[in-house]
Amino acid sequence: GVSVVDLDTATPAWANLPASDPDPRALGLSARHLAYVIYTSGSTGTPKGAQNEHRAIINRLIWMQRAYALQATDVVLQKTPFGFDVSAWEFFWTLLEGATLVLAPPDAHKHPDALVDLIVSQRITTAHFVPSMLVSFLDAKGGEHCRSLRRLVCSGEALAAASVQRARRLLPWTGLHNLYGPTEAAIDATAWSCPAEFDGTIVPIGRPIANTRVYLLDGHGAPVPFGAVGELYIGGAGVARGYLNRPELT
């Protein structure tokens, strides 16, 4: 049931197709058109389709490249189901930079030992883990053999300080990056790189990424004083258009 594309045939399937990209302006397309809709339950438990535009995901991908400098020699592990927005950067960041994308087998996250073997055998340099999965990965046998791993990106849950310290001890050659953001803000809105000597008790979510603003506001929408508790508000290029067919929630 797998389609095979033969790259070496004398008459490939695309032989008569244009060699250049379509002109988006001629097609009436702009950066404000939708790139994708991904559903999130958020705090309500009811699925809501966050509509993210091209400008939002492109802003996120360009920031990631400037921050982490993926090279054509890098190998990125793709293991996030495409119903989750992290998969968008696994796919498109890799392809934009001409790096290699390795697709993990289905349910690979359930078998940390096999994941270690995959990272070693395919010489993976870049991978994403939700923090709870990072714990399982650090508990797996042979994690210290993942010497090709240069970037570990964490998001989706709060990252525990103990996990950061374990990762720095087990994989001292690997950069560990803590990202935060809702599906409604094109994957991530803030980022923090964990220093090698990290000994804190709280892992920060960092500072806003490019063209993004973050505010802590009170119940009246006014900024709270330094040190006070507030609600986190996100503004800028990454904010989604709204919820699909749910204007009252938007």
Q: Determine the Cα–Cα distance for residues 198 and 194; give it in Å rounded to an integer.
A: 7
**Residue 91 belongs to a domain:** yes
The CATH number of the domain where 198 resides is what? 3.40.50.980
**Residue 4 belongs to a domain:** no
The identity of residue 120, as a single letter, is: V
Could you list the residue range(s) of the whole structural domain that residue 118 is in? 60-207
**Residue 185 belongs to a domain:** yes
The identity of residue 209, as a single letter, is: I
**Nearest Cα residue to 126 out of 75, 171, 79, 176:** 75
Q: With beta carbons less than 8 A apart as the criterion, state whether 67 and 187 touch.
A: no
**Residue 40 belongs to a domain:** no
Q: Determine the Cα–Cα distance for residues 6 and 15; give it in Å rounded to an integer.
A: 12
**Residue 20 belongs to a domain:** no
Across the chain, which has 250 residues, the per-10-residue mean pLDDT values are 85 87 93 95 81 97 98 96 94 97 87 94 97 95 96 97 96 97 95 94 97 97 95 96 92
**Residue 180 belongs to a domain:** yes
Torsion sign across C-alpha atoms 103, 105, 106, 112: negative
- Euclidean distance between the first and final Cα of the chain, in Å? 41
Q: With beta carbons less than 8 A apart as the criterion, state whether 130 and 84 touch.
A: no
**Residue 148 belongs to a domain:** yes
pTM (predicted TM-score): 0.90
**Residue 190 belongs to a domain:** yes
The identity of residue 76, as a single letter, is: V
214: β partners? 234
Please give the tally of structural domains in the chain: 1
| CA angle (205 as vertex; 219, 65 as ends), nearest 5 | 125
